[in-house]
């Protein structure tokens, strides 16, 4: 979804809900899918900040 730029960061629905909607072809707001904390950083801020967070936490 990141490569296809399908996440809407300005949406009222968070990344977990958007992931669930895409995975199961369901309407937004009907559930949430599992995401890892660093995956949220990757989607929201990019790969460089994700790697900085990995370095900081580990």
* pLDDT tens profile 1-58: 878 888 888 888 888 888 888 889 999 988 887 777 777 788 888 999 989 988 987 7
Q: What is the DSSP letter of 32?
A: -
Distance of CA 23 to the CA centre of its chain: 12
Global pTM reads 0.64
> What confidence score (pLDDT) does residue 16 get?
84
Dist. CA 10–CA 55, nearest whole Å: 28
Distance of CA 53 to the CA centre of its chain: 15
Look at the alpha carbons of 58, 38, 24, 3 in this order and tell me if their dihedral is positive or negative: negative
């Amino acid at each position: 979804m990141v490569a296809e730029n399908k996440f809407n960061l300005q949406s009222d629905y968070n990344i977990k809900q958007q992931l669930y909607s895409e995975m199961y072809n369901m309407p937004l707001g009907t559930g949430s899918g599992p995401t890892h904390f660093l995956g949220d950083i990757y989607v929201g801020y990019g790969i460089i900040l994700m790697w900085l967070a990995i370095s900081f936490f580990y």
